[in-house]
Structure formats: structure tokens, C-alpha cells
Structure 1
Amino acid sequence: MLERLQQIRDCLFKPDTPQPHPLDPLSELEIEYAVSIVSETHGPKLRYNTVCLSEPKKAEMLAWLEAPEVAPRPLREAEVVVVGHGYLCDGIVDLTNGVIKTWEKLTGVQPMLTVEDLQGTEKIIRTNRRVIEQCEILGIPEKDMHKVYCDPWTIGYDERFGNSIRLQQAILYYRPNLDDMQYAFPLDFCPIVNTTTGEIVDIDIPAVRRPVNTIPSNYNLDPAAYRTDVKPINITQPDGVSFTVQGRVIEWQKFKLHVGFSHKEGIVLNNVTYDDGGVVRPLFWRLSLAEMVVPYGSPDYPHHRKHAFDLGEYGGGYMTNSLSLGCDCKGVIHYMDASFITAAGIPTTIPNAICIHEEDSGILFKHTDFRDNSVIVTRGRKLVISHIFTAANYEYCVYWNLHQDGTIQLEIKLTGVLNTYSMAPDEDTKGWGTQVHPGVNAHNHEHLFCLRIDPMIDGHKNTVFQVDATRGEGEVGSAENKYGNAFYAKKTKYSTVGESLSDYDASTSRTWDICNTNKTHPYSGKFPSYKLVSRETPPLLVKEGGLVWKRAGFARHTIHVTKYADDQIHPAGRHVPQTSGEPPMGLPEWVGDGTASIDNEDIVVWHTFGLIHFPAPEDFPVMPAEPMSLLLRPRHFFLRNPALDVPPSYVSVPSQVAAGKAGAVTGDGVSQLAFEQKGCCAK
């Protein structure tokens, strides 16, 4: 063991080996090194849950970035979670110095579930005598147990069991034929599995049994059934891409940023800056999807337990897909891999976990002057940084889009398969769900995401203003508003954490400005800012005091603003599974009494957004992707439109029109001759 430790250390830290960026995810070799250090102290036969980067403290990173030749390089540290019988061990391993920095044994706390945990549960239910008996009652013989499948979910919180043992609830399905889609054949009972011991601790069985559907509904069609009128669309960049990648640092169209990857959050964008005429201006220190919850709307037992925290309980990084060219991404692609740990402590890598490419984004700006028919039209492009993760039945496609005008857009597409439950032919769904196929009930649910925004708008001291479109004072006919048409942007400053707890108001088109109040724009006189524009912000529909309301405190409001702290990353708590919400964890705990100042401070903005899903037959057997989007847009940040220097696709100025000369086609590389022969924006 000591010999292997030394071999790894020599490989990682030999003088001619380039050191990783301090925010780079751990490599396979670093993961092996962390495991070796832990094994040397605590023994080789441990069950690992997590080995990932422990991010350096913000102050250390900023000092090093400011003066990398002078300031100490932040240590490479690994966050390690080990699972035992009735406990977990939480530790930090200092890889730079080869020592365990902290190690804490915790009871009554459960770590996230891994893919191995989920796969193990399916094996357990297929061989358990009690599960077999229930399947036989539904007409599934023991010889067909290999046709029984389950989606293992965390149990949420069940007061019968608490959080002293690690549990999963097995939501069961049947697949009569190998190529059938099992979600068309849901079963009506739910085993509870002890993840650690493999025992079935209980089975929830409805008082009135529901038959198994017998009619398949598959999304894999016979090839003869596919449309024949779909022609290929080919995307080429014969001169290559317009971005550069060094390690995990990307430069594109005046943007520069570091692309990280977390086992929980997936993509993490760090140190996002923009080159404004030679002045590099800081925008955001860290952007990530920090948490999400999917509460289902059926009050019938045991469906109240269906409220998955897909990031905190399973991990958007752990569940990420290996992406494929031409399918998940099109164009000229740069990929990044992601390395994780198996339960046995063996590093493993998901290739092509992140896809980076450019796309045409339509018209960036255009104007035609009706007086002389002079025109300019400039097509924009965007840089897309994406990953896709599968949470049992659902797929979440996450796209971070950078635009040439300085806008940052987060787009999420939801697809995959509905979570389904069996129903009798004459059963009333009572409005809690929809029969999407004979014998198949899909329950109402929400998808609520929490975006963590760590801003540095022209510096790390920022302030948030709520902005509401508001009618001007004065009645119609009054001197100050004679015709009643006055309206303005009413700005309300959040000075304390308590003041920031706010919700979206569609009646005022509410947005939020993240400002640097230490500067003003030379023309508008307003503070330079990035505006959060987000209108898909449904409320948490669980009633106050309900189980999900207590557990998902981050989703009670659209906006929370807190003062920055290095250890405040996960708004539902560090270890989410089987928490009860009492006492409060995560964001409600950090809010405290609400008196902390957030005026001109180093702050974090937490934004909850998402959608409500009332299922319909068109969503089955596989959902067409449903998109949602939000924007971070510069306001009073640049002197004028920062995209004016993007080459236009076509431009003709008034003097050219007057002289009868053709305009110039530049942006897409189309020759002047092609324009003259074929017309404007010819291809």
C-alpha cells in the first residue's frame, strides 16, 4: 500500500507534470490517491459513496488568481464520504500533503444514493419471497420475476423508519417482453429496502388491488412506421470553431470561464469574465444548478413519499450520460469527461460527460430604414456547454448558453418517461393524475430547480434590487399623469436577508438586478448590473407545514439572498436523503433571523424556478422535450450594444443605396459575387 501511495504521488507531483487548475474536478489518479490515503488509515474494505473535489476557499482562489506567481497555490483536497452500518464518515483528504485533514463519524444521516445502490435494489426485489408472493397475486408467476423491474427512489422521509437506516422505496413495473417499455405496466405495491443489508423491511400494499395493464405502449417503433419525409440537416464549420480550450478554461467571443463538474450539481461555471474593449470585467464567480425537488401531487398513501431531490439525493453528475455526436450534440464538438468512484473505491470515468459547441442563434440584431432601404442584419451565435442526466424515468438536458451580447442563458429540457402508477378500468383519478394509457395513471407533479448565483458584477461587493413595472402616480387628468400612460421601473433594494425572501409577480413583470452600487453608468447614471429574467417560476404547491415544504425549504420562495459562506453550496443540506426538515437544513437555516446585511456585500442569490406538469396522453410513452429558460442579461453594464463588432451577415449603408451599389455580405463568409448573383444573405 505504501509503495502504491508513493508511486501515485510521484506521478501526480513530479516536477515536469502540469498541475491541474485548482477548480478542476479530480482525475482518476487523484481519486485513487485519496482512496489509498484513507485506506492506509481506516482499512481497505470500505464502501465509498463519494470522492470528489473539495473546492478551495474563495479567498484563497482569488488571491492566487490575482498573483499566481506570488500567492500560495490552493491545496488539492478531496471530499470523501464512506458508508458504514448505521453511520457514515465525512472527511477531507489533503492530496497536496498526502494526509487526512478531517474525519467525522455521523449517525442519523444518510448519504446520496449511487447507481450501484439503485442497481442492487432491483436484484433484491426479484429474489425476495414476499415480493414474489405479491407479484403472484397480480398474476405474475415466479418464473417471470426477471421481467419485474423497479425504479429505486430514496424514501423521502417515512416516520415509521426515521433516518437511522439507509432505505429505498422500490417503485415496481413489469415488462412482458424484452423490448416492451415497463412504465406501461406499473404494479400497485411498493417494497421498502434496507440499502445496507439488502433486506425488505416492509411492503406498502393498497387496500384495493389494481390489475396489471396488458396493453403495451412502446416508443421503439417498427422501422417501417417512421416518417420518410425527413431530410438531413448537416452542420459544418470548415474553418474550425471560434473558441479555445486550455485544460478546462474556455475563451469565446470575449467570454472567459472555467468549466467544472460536480457529482451533485453537474456543470459548474467559475470565474466568468468578459473582455470589454481590453478591460476584463468580472461577471460571476460561480454558477450552478444546486438542487431540485420533484413533488408529486397525489395525497394517497404512499405517494406522498414521491418527492425526489434529483441532485441532492442522486447527483446530477453521478447520473450524467455519455454524450454522442449527431444525437445529443451536433456540430464540431469539444468533450470533457467526468471521473467518479465505485463503492469498492475504484475510479471510473464517464466519457463525453460535457459537450461544448457553437450554434447559430438567429438574428442578433437587425434594422431596415424605410426611408432609403439601407439595412443591417447580423446573425448571432451562441456557445453551448451542456450535459444530460437520467434520473430513473426522467431525462434532464442542461444547457448553459453564452451569447455574443454578454447574455448568459440557462436552458433546461425535460424529456424521458412519466412516473406511472396502476389504475383500475373504472377508477377515478380524482384530479391528482391522468390516465395516459389504459390502466396507467400519471400523477401531477412539479419540477423545481434551485439556481445558485455567486455574482461578482465588476467586483465581489454586490446588491440585489427587485424591479417591478409600476404605473405612475396621479389619476387620469392630473397634472403629473394627465393621460394615465406613465409607468416606470420601481426598484426595491434588498438590504437584509429577510427582505430578500420574495416571489415572482407576473402582474409587474418582476425581475431582479444584481448590481455593483459602487459604480454608475456614465450615460444612464444607473448601477452596472446583470438582470435575472425568469418567468417560469411556479410556487411550491405543497401546503405550509407539509413534508415537502419542510424538506425543500429552498423552494418556498423564488428568491433568497444570503451573505457568502464557503460551506453554503447545497440549499437542501449536505446530506439530503431521509431528512425530515426538522430542524431546518440548508437555506432556511442560513437565512436565520433574516437580519444579516446583504447590502454591498459578497452575496449569493438563490433562485427557484421550474414548471408544473399535468400529464397528458401526448407525454406517453416518451415525452417530447419540454423546455424552460432564464436569462442573466447585462443592464447599464456596457457603454452601448457590446455586439456591434460582430460581423454582419449583410449590410448596406445609405450612401451605397444612393449610389446603386450592392451591400456587403461578410458574417457568413459569402462572397460578393454570390450576393450579386443570388441576392441578400445568399448561400
Structure 2
Amino acid sequence: MSERLSQLAAQLASRPTPPHPLDPLSASEIEYVVAVVVKEKGQLNYNAITLSEPKKKDLQAWIAAPGAATRPKRQAEVVALGRNQEVFDGVVDIDDGKIIAWEKLEGVQPLITMEDLQDTESYVRADPKVIEQCKILGITDMSKVYCDPWTIGYDERFGSNIRLQQALMYYRPHIDDCQYAFPLDFCPIINTATKEIIHIDIPSVRRPVNTIPSNYMPADIESTTGYRTDIAPLNITQPEGVSFSLNGREISWQNFKLHIGFNYKEGIVLSNVTFNDHGKVRPLFYRVSLAEMVVPYGNPEHPHQRKHAFDLGEYGGGYMTNSLSLGCDCKGAIHYLNADFVTRSGASHTIPNAICIHEEDAGILFKHTDFRDSSLIVTRGRKLIISQIFTAANYEYCIYWILHQDGTIQLEIKLTGILNTYAMSPDEDTKGWGTQVHPGVNAHNHQHLFCLRLNPEIDGAGGNTVYQVDAMRSPHPVGSEENKYGNGFFAEKTPYKTIRESMQDYNGATSRTWDISNPSSLHPYSGKPATYKLVSREIPGLLPAPGSLVWNRAGFARHAIHVTPYADGQLHPAGRHVPQTSGVPSHGLPEWIEAAEKAGQDKVENGDVVVWHTFGLTHFPAPEDFPVMPAEPMTLLLRPRHFFKRSPVLDVPPSFAVAPSQVKERGGVDNRDRESHAAFAKKEGEKKGGCCKK
């Protein structure tokens, strides 16, 4: 191994340029880290090897003066399992080639890897107790039995000292059948370490296996309804190439500049986001990511209370990422970025095309027509999309980070894939906990709650304050001097001064938004601080009751917003190691809040803060969602307010414009004649070769 270690060290040393401090670990770096660990700790199984991000102050110093400041050390976090399933957390210094931290953890389980998931089905199929349950249901061919391995959440019967999964069981009469149309009514529990089924949860009243397929693959559609024939081709071309440029993983587009990172838990991470405002580079966000999510299901009957997956903390949004393909997942002129991860054995594994970067037409950016003389201007916009798609067993999550020319940053998430299903009897009452979406198929109510993590640095100098903004009626009554006609309303802004004050929920009645502001950077006209406004409307409350298992485990989801002081390493709001935690004592965000308040360090006004925002949707399934769900989108915006001196898109070339003086030169237009109005606009467009030209 020492020879291998030397070879890998020489390979890293021969790189023409060192990686950016925030670049994800390369395949060769991962293999080098493994070699360092093997040399000092012997053979282990690997759960994760990922970049250990530099401390913020060190990275900011290097960014401000890369030639003068010390480049932050390249380090890797290691999560490994010993021969007896001991869990180790470590840090390897790649520059120095040595382990600088190593700790054995007790009562902790790291996330479930893709290899763990893939192994489970073979264990389940071969187990005599599972075979017996299948025979009871009339199934004898075990090659037609499938399971979706799930984290067990937390089950008080087994605790967290042994590494467990639960198996949601299905049947496929034919290899091309959708297994979710044939759910089985029992649930094995697997000890991942020993590869044994240690228990099977069996309902007191058995449910028969459905016999009616519901499929979505081409052969089935072609043999039943057939495909639509009235869809003409739609092609997207950029004959002159794209408008963005990449330097490594730093992208520049339409005044934006940022670094695109990627890790096994969060997936895409955007860092050092800035905007060039006519020559002045203005910081916006130090780090932006989708930090966690939880999917609680609403059937309280045992064992369904265990169905509440933390898809990032328990499986990893990076680990589950799809390899994207042109024309299917992305269209247009595409640039891809790969992702490198470690396998259980310590080899590197590459997911090609893990990130897709492309531009799209964004419709009208702005437009105005003067009704007096037909003068007009219309400018079409475009957007840059940085995306990934990951598959969490039955569900697909399509993640789109979108940059707009006016400085807006948008996060859009599309949910598709297949409903999680459970068996039901023909006359069974779902009790409101679910819906029969197909004969014998019960799809339970559930939520998808995502946690956005923002570390702002709006306009750089000074700290940031978060304000709650509510649209309010004037407090003065109709007829009063202040509000004589009763039509007054205003934006009530409430600053969050402490963590506790920031723990707030959404209020649709007041169109609640949140301003992230820099009090030391005031607008020359409005006199208000430079701000990025968080506009988010899809914010259901966490429906499991306070004190429930999900409530305890998903502390980040108890409120729509939390604001905490920045601290290095506080990245994962459900905790660093999420599987099989009970939530008591608290992990992640609630733990950090408690510690900050106890230490008297809970001030969040005009400082370096982190905004945690939980949003999502509540899904009451319907037959239209089965057997495969049409994509359901949700979105939120980070919009500049009092940030630019005036509209930041005036310098985007118009698609078509005719000034009043040009109209006058041509003798004007009869505004009462709409046909004349339209004809004039069309004629002017054809002259100029603008958007109106055919």
C-alpha cells in the first residue's frame, strides 16, 4: 500500500493547477484518502468520503487575496465502518497525507448507501420467513418479489446500536409490470451488518394481493390507449453557442459569478455568489444549498409510523443522483459536470453528467406599449439553469437552481416518480389516511418538506438582518385623519433580533415574505437597506403532532423560518448522522439553538447569519397520480430589493423597440384602429429584423 500511496501522491502533485478549495474531491483524491486511511487504520468499509470545507474566514481571506493569503488546506471527511460495524468519523489532510482527526462513535448509524439498498433485496428474497409470508399470500416464485429498502426511521424495539433497514414489499407478475400496483402487506426488518431478517411486521388482518396491473412502459401504452399523434417536434438551438463561461467549476453568466460544488448529501452547493453591478462586484451569498428534507407519511397504524424518510440525511441527494441525458433530462446546448464518490470497498465511482448546466428562454423580461402612439419596447429574457435529478426509491426529485438576468435566484423543485403504495382489501376503509388509487392499492397521505440553507452576505460589508414582512391594513379606522377613506395598507417589517424571535411560521393572509438586508448599505433613493427578499408561498406546516416521533426527529421543520448565527460545520439541520435517531436528545438545528441560547450567543441582528427555510407540499394522492406521477412543481425566489439603483435589466438588448420620435417620423398611427396598430408594429419589426420578423 505504501507504493500505491506514493503513486497517488505523485499523481496529485503533478496536477497543473491545484483545485479550487471548494471543488468536490476528484476520483484520484478519494483513492489517495483511502490509501492514507488504510496505511494507518487498516482495511475498512467506507460510507462516505467528501470534501471538508475550509473554515469561512480562511476561505474568504484567500478569495479576497489569492496571491497573498494562504490557500486553505485540502481536507476530506471520512465516514467508515469497521469489521464489527463500528462507526468512525475522521478527517484526512490531503496536502500533508495524514489523518488529523479520528473518532469512534457510539449509538450512531451513518446514512444508507446505494450498495446497502441494492444488497437488501437479495437478503429478503432468500429468507425462509419472508418466503413463508409470500406463500401465505399465494406467491411461490421469489424472483417476482421485490422490495424498496427504507431506513427504519426509529423503532424503539431495536434502538440505534445495530444497523437496520425496513423492506417495503411488492410483487411483479411480469418483469415489465409496475410493482407498486402489487403491494404486499408485511414488512421485514433487516440487520444490514449480519444480512439477516430479524423481524417481520405482519398485520392482524391480512390483505390480498391485487391481480390487476397498471403499467406505464411503451408496450403497455401502445397496446391499450396508444400514444398521441399530434405532437410536432420542438427543437432548441443556440447556433452561436452559450452565453456562460466556466473556469473549472466557477461559472460566469449575465453578471453572476459563483462556484458550483457537489457533495453526497446535499447534491448541488452554490458558493461565493456575486453580481457585477456595472463594474462593482457585489457579494450576495456565501453558500446556498438544499440542506435536508423529510417525507412524513400520515397513516398512524403500525408500522407505517416509521415511514418518514430524510432523503438527504439518510440516503444522500448526491449518492442518489441520476446520470442525465441530452434530449430527455435536459435540452439545448448543455454543459455537464460529473460527480465522484467512494464505494464501500474504497474504490472511486463516477456518476457522469450528474449536473446539467444550460440556458432557456424565459419569456418576456419586460414590455411596455404606449397606447397614445404605438411606441413600444419588448425584451425577452433568458435564464441559466443548474440542475440535478435524484431518485429516492419510488420518487424522483428534479432540482433546478435558476439564475435570472435581473439578479433573481430561483429554486424550483419538480416531484415525479411513483407513489409509495400499500395493500388494501376490496371493502377496506382507508379512514382518511390514504386513497385507493387502483384496485387493491392504497396510497397514503404524506408531505415533502425541504430545508433551504442560506448564508447571506448581502452587499458584503457589515452584517445582515432578517426582517419578517407582512402586508397589513392601516391600523387607523375609516374616517380618521390618517386613513379617511379606509384604503391604506403598508408593509410591516419586524426584525429578528434573536434566534427565538426568528422561529416563525408562514402567514398567507399577510402574504408574508422575509427580507435579508444589509443595514450598512442604504439605497440612495429609497433610503432602505440593500436586500434580497425570500418569496416563498408553498409552506405547509409539519402535520405530525408536537411530541411525535417525526416532530422530534425533524426539528428543522417545526417552523417555516429559523435564523442562527453562522458557525463552521453547522450544515445539516437534522444532524450529521440521521439514521435511527429518535430525536431525543435533539440533533442538528434544535441542538445548535439550545447551545447558542445557553451560551448567550443567540443574537442574529446585523451579523453573520444562516437562514433555514422549510417549504414543500402536502400530498393527498389521487388516481391521476398513478401509476406514474405527472411532475408537480414548487418554487421560491430570492429577489433583489433596494439593491440596484434602478432596473438592472435595462442593458439587456431589446427584442424590438420603437420610440415615440420614430413613430412621429412615420406619420403616427391611428390608436383607435387596432388593426392599424398591429400592422405598424409588425412592419417596424420586419424592418429592424427584430422578434416580430417571421
TM-score clears 0.5: yes
Matching residue of 1:668: none
What is the distance in 2 between the residues matched to 1:117 and 1:461?
44
Name 1:666's counterpart in structure 2. none
Aligned residue type for 1:105: K
1:680 and 1:580 map into 2 onto residues whose CA distance is 59
Moved more, 33-42 or 75-84: 75-84
Residue of structure 2 equivalent to 1:610: 616
Alignment of 1:482-493 (within 5 A): 482-493=484-495
Q: Which residue of 2 is the match for residue 529 of structure 1? A: 531
Shift of the alpha carbon at 1:86?
4.4
- Structure 1 match to 2:673: none
Contact 1:86 1:107 (8 Å CA) reproduced: no
Task: Assess if the C-alpha contact under 8 Å between 2:186 and 2:200 holds in 1.
Answer: yes
**Structure 1: distance between partners of 2:479 and 2:211:** 70
SS of structure 1 residue aligned to 2:110: coil
1:643 to 634, 644, 649: 649
> Is 2:546 the partner of 1:544?
yes
Contact in 2 for aligned 1:86/1:108 (Cα 8 Å): no
Superposed displacement of residue 17, structure 1: 2.0
Name 1:11's counterpart in structure 2: 11
Q: Name the amino acid aligned to 2:468.
A: Q
- Counterpart in 2 of 1:377? 378
Quick one: distance in 2 between partners of 1:81 and 1:625? Answer: 35
Match of 2:112 in 1: 113
Letter in 2 for 1:406: G
2:516 equivalent to 1:514: yes
The question of whether the paired residues in 2 share the 8 Å contact of 1:193 and 1:202 is answered with yes
SS at match of 1:180: coil
Q: Corresponding residue for 2:568?
A: 566
Q: How does 1:579-598 map to 2 (within 5 A)?
A: 579-592=581-594, 594=597, 596-598=602-604
Cα distance in 2 for residues equivalent to 1:583 and 1:678: 67
Counterpart-to-counterpart distance in 1, 2:328 and 2:691: 32
Does structure 2 retain, via aligned residues, the 8 Å contact 1:87–1:109? no
Supply the distance in 2 between the matched residues of 1:126 and 1:7 (Cα, whole angstroms): 43
In structure 2, distance between residues paired with 1:508 and 1:47: 52
> Which residue number in structure 2 is paired with residue 258 of structure 1?
259
Encode CA deviations 1:352-383: one digit per residue, 9 max, x unaligned. 00000000011111111111111111110000
Aligned to 1:268: 269
1:554 offset after TM fit, Å?
0.1
- Counterparts of 2:115 and 2:211, CA distance in 1: 31
Q: Which amino acid aligns with 2:205?
A: V
**Alignment-derived partner of residue 191 in structure 1:** 188
Q: Tell me, what secondary structure is at the counterpart of 2:147?
A: strand
Q: Is the 8 A contact 1:86 1:164 kept in 2?
A: no
Letter matched to residue 83 of structure 1: L
Residue of structure 1 in register with 2:94 after alignment = 95
In structure 2, the gaps of 5 or more residues are 670-681
Aligned counterpart for 1:147 among listed residues 123, 144, 147: 144
Q: Secondary structure at the match of 1:519?
A: strand
Query: Which residues of 2 match residues 22-33 of structure 1 at below 5 A?
Result: 22-33=21-32
User: Are 2:626 and 1:620 equivalent residues in the alignment?
Assistant: yes
Q: Do the aligned partners of 1:662 and 1:676 also contact (CA within 8 Å) in 2?
A: no
Rounded Cα–Cα distance in structure 1 between residues aligned with 2:688 and 2:152: 67
Distance 2:218 2:63 in 1: 54
Q: Map of 1:163-178 to 2, 5 A cutoff?
A: 163-178=160-175
Match of 2:639 among 633, 639, 650: 633
For the structure 1 residues 330 and 672, does the alpha-carbon distance in structure 2 shift closer, same or farther, using more than 3 Å as the test?
A: farther
Distance in 1, Cα, partners of 2:557 & 2:667: 59
**Partner in structure 2 of residue 158 of structure 1:** 155
Contact kept in structure 1, 2:321 and 2:390, CA below 8 Å = yes
Whole-angstrom CA distance in 2 between matches of 1:578 and 1:662: 74
| Aligned partners of 1:87 and 1:108 also within 8 Å | no
When structure 1 is superposed on structure 2, of 89-98 and 77-86 the one drifting more is: 77-86
Coordinate RMSD, CA, aligned? 1.5
Matched, 1:72 2:70: yes
Residue 504 of structure 1: aligned partner: 506
CA shift digits 1:522-580 (9 cap, x unpaired): 00000000000001000000110000000000000000000000110000000000000
Aligned-residue offset at 1:640 = 0.5
SS of the equivalent of 1:575 reads coil
Aligned residue number for residue 422 of structure 1: 423
- The 3-state SS of whatever aligns with 1:630 is strand
Partner letter of residue 362 of structure 1?
Answer: G
Which residues of 2 match residues 273-422 of structure 1 at below 5 A?
273-422=274-423
CA distance 1:213–1:487, change in 2 (3 Å): same
Shift of 1:676: 3.5
Q: Is the 8 A contact 2:658 2:684 kept in 1?
A: no
Q: Secondary structure at the match of 1:21?
A: coil
TM-superposition CA deviations, 1:278-306 (whole Å, max 9, x none): 00000000000000000000011100000
Distance across 2 between alignment mates of 1:290 and 1:674: 48
Distance 1:443 1:662 in 2: 64
1:667 is matched with none
Q: Match of 2:510, as an amino acid?
A: T
- The answer as to 2:134 corresponding to 1:135 is yes
Match of 1:53 among 43, 47, 51: 51
* Alpha-carbon distance change, 367 to 673 in structure 1, aligned in 2, over 3 angstroms: closer
Q: For residues 288-325 of structure 1, what are the alpha-carbon distances to aligned partners after superposition, in whole Å with 9 as ceiling and x for unaligned?
A: 00000000000111000000000000000000000000
CA distance in 2, matches of 1:70, 1:574: 34
Displacement, 1:36? 0.2
d(CA) in 2 for partners of 1:679, 1:306: 55
State the one-letter code of the partner of 2:613: H
Does residue 43 (structure 1) correspond to residue 35 (structure 2)? The answer is no
The separation in 2 between residues aligned to 1:662 and 1:227, in whole angstroms, is: 48
Q: Is the 8 A contact 2:656 2:685 kept in 1?
A: no
Deviations 1:504-529 (A, max 9, x none): 10011000000001121000000000
State the one-letter code of the partner of 2:577.
Answer: H
Measured after TM superposition, the shift of residue 677 of structure 1 is 9.8
- Aligned letter for 2:637? L
What number of residue pairs does the alignment pair up? 672
CA drift at 1:674: 7.4
Give how far 1:659 is off: 1.1
- Who is 1:20 aligned against? 19
Aligned to 1:299, what secondary structure does the other structure show?
coil
Q: CA deviation at 1:221?
A: 3.2
Task: Tell me, yes or no, if the aligned pair for 1:531 and 1:635 is still in contact at 8 Å.
Answer: yes
The answer for unaligned runs of 5 or more in structure 1 is: 664-670
Structure 2 letter corresponding to 1:632: L
Q: Verify: 1:681 aligned to 2:692, yes or no.
A: yes
In 2: Cα distance, 1:261 partner to 1:662 partner: 57
Q: Is the 8 A contact 2:108 2:160 kept in 1?
A: yes
Once the two structures are superposed, what CA deviation does each residue of 1:584-633 show, in whole Å capped at 9, x if it has no partner? 01011111164511111100000000000000000000000000000000
Q: Give the direction of change, closer, same or farther, for the CA distance of 1:163–1:662 in structure 2 (3 Å limit).
A: farther
Distance 1:662 1:249, change over 3 A: farther
Amino acid of the residue matched to residue 341 of structure 2?
F
CA distance in structure 1 between the aligned counterparts of 2:25 and 2:668, rounded to whole angstroms: 56
User: Is the contact made by 2:685 and 2:691 (CA closer than 8 Å) also made in structure 1?
Assistant: no
AA partner of residue 414 (structure 2) = K
Q: Tell me the residue number matched to 2:675.
A: none
Contact 1:262 1:317 in 2 (8 A): yes
Q: Secondary structure, in 3 states, of the residue corresponding to 1:146?
A: helix
Q: What is the rounded CA distance, in whole Å, between the counterparts of 1:566 and 1:139 in structure 2?
A: 56
| Aligned position for 2:436 | 435
Amino acid at match of 1:11: Q
User: Is the alpha carbon distance of 1:481 and 1:566 closer, same or farther for their aligned partners in structure 2, counting shifts above 3 Å?
Assistant: same
Q: Is the 8 A contact 1:652 1:662 kept in 2?
A: no
Query: What secondary structure sits across from 1:217 in the alignment?
Result: coil
Paired with 2:667 and 2:370, the residues of 1 have a C-alpha distance of 16
Deviation for aligned residue 1:680? 5.8
Equivalent residues of 2:655, 2:690 under 8 A apart: no
Offset at residue 83 of structure 1 (A): 1.4
How far did 1:10 drift? 1.0
